[in-house]
Amino acid sequence: MTLKPLRNLLVVRPDAEKTATDSGILLPGKAAEKPTTGTVLESGPGVYNEKGDLIPTGVNVGDTILFHQNEITKHVIDNEEFWILPSTSVVGVLS
């Protein structure tokens, strides 16, 4: 199944949760850090301003992004979890 987002929405595959700190200390289940990075799988075209000009999302398919977690919607399609979030939640593109 393919999912094409509308407006300024992004479909993101979240990175795996960190189960250990950078120094090697193992984290129990609830203390594991939730990912705030992921890979963009699909991107909507953007939104239109009052003048009718299209403002693109600013990210491309395949980009690894850093984002805020407050506007995430989680969906499971074909037994794989994807996150849908607005492009306004993106803090930056990692390189």
- Alpha-carbon distance of 17 to 60, in angstroms, equals 23
DSSP secondary structure code for residue 58 in this structure:
S
CATH of the domain at 68: 2.30.33.40
- The pLDDT assigned to 32 comes to 46
- What length does the chain have? 95
* Residue 3 domain flag: no
* Residue 1 domain flag: no
- The pLDDT assigned to 28 comes to 62
For the segment 45-93, what is each residue's pLDDT rounded down to a tens digit?
A: 999 999 999 999 999 999 999 998 888 899 888 888 899 999 999 999 9
Whether this prediction's pTM lies above 0.75 is answered by: yes
pLDDT band at 41 (very low <50, low <70, confident <90, very high): very high
User: Which residues partner with 13 through β-bridges?
Assistant: 39
* Residue 82 domain flag: yes
The number of domains in the chain is 1
User: Which residues partner with 42 through β-bridges?
Assistant: 11
